[in-house]
Amino acid sequence: MFIIGLLLWGAAIGVTLITGNVITLPTIVLIGSFLVPVTGVVWYLDHDPSPALSPRRITAAFIIAGTLGVLAASLLEYYLVGTGLLANFEVGLVEELVKTLMVVAVAWGIHSFHTRDGMVLGAAVGFGFAALESSGYALASLFVVQGQRLFLSLDSVVVTELVRGILAPFGHGMWTAIVGGAIFAAARGRGRRYIWILGAYVLVSVLHGAFDSINGITGYVVVSIVGLIPLVWLWLRVDGRGGVLPRGDH
């Protein structure tokens, strides 16, 4: 799927360059924005499906929760986020809160909680959010102002989608996977385990804010590595027992 999608994206870019036809620009934006997120979701459905997570639930997490998350975050940021140095961290707090609530919403009705299932569900929500957000950034980058004139820049769209596509697995998908894992881990226990949700939320909000504040590859790599540590820890330390439990165990 990834290879075919990449070829189709490249073909759309090539045809647009040759013809100058603006009608094909949405094709470039949509394929480029959704390629990596959709590939991640489909890979899971093909390789490691869980009885607790039906394809319908995963699809709802990606499309419905992702869309509602983007809309809710945009609305809240309009009213709550100010300007200045803390604005990026405020955006992180708002968007991670919205996605956390979306994970809880799409998990409604599940009776068997496993940390890995929570991570997968969280990643689906995060990937849906990321795909729609990336399409917005790509569309915004299309318009370039030089002097008093407005130009359409295909180069800006391609660069924006390349960067966001490469970083997609280390951004919204990873952050919401961490929170989703913490939510499902907490649902299996009592007491202090619920602190995991708050801790995970604060962690990914800070990572999100730091990610948005950085303008450099080195900074992106550092933030991504920091985020990978709790992600891998949650994946390996399934359900907080230090070992991998079969999904059939409750």
Instruction: Assign 189 a pLDDT band (cuts: 50, 70, 90).
Output: low
Average pLDDT over all residues of the chain: 88
Residue 248: predicted pLDDT? 46
Weakest mean pLDDT among 107-116, 142-151, 224-233: 142-151
Residue 49 in this model has a pLDDT that exceeds 80: no
Of 168 and 129, which is predicted with more confidence? 129
Weakest mean pLDDT among 67-76, 114-123, 230-239: 230-239
Instruction: Assign 245 a pLDDT band (cuts: 50, 70, 90).
Output: very low
Q: CB of 104 within 8 A of CB of 144?
A: no
Chain segment 91-142, per-residue pLDDT in tens? 999 999 999 999 999 999 898 888 899 999 999 999 999 999 999 999 999 9
Please count the CA atoms within 13 angstroms of the CA of 62 that sit on its side-chain side: 21
> Structural domain boundaries of the chain?
2-240
Residue 70 in this model has a pLDDT that exceeds 80: yes
Q: Which of 168, 161, 58 is closest to 119 using CA atoms?
A: 58
Chain segment 10-43, per-residue pLDDT in tens? 999 999 999 999 999 999 999 999 999 999 999 8
* Other beta carbons within 10 Å of 206: 16
Residue 191: predicted pLDDT? 53
Instruction: Assign 190 a pLDDT band (cuts: 50, 70, 90).
Output: low
- Name the helix (H) or strand (E) containing 17: helix 2-19
Weakest mean pLDDT among 62-66, 121-125, 131-135, 150-154: 150-154
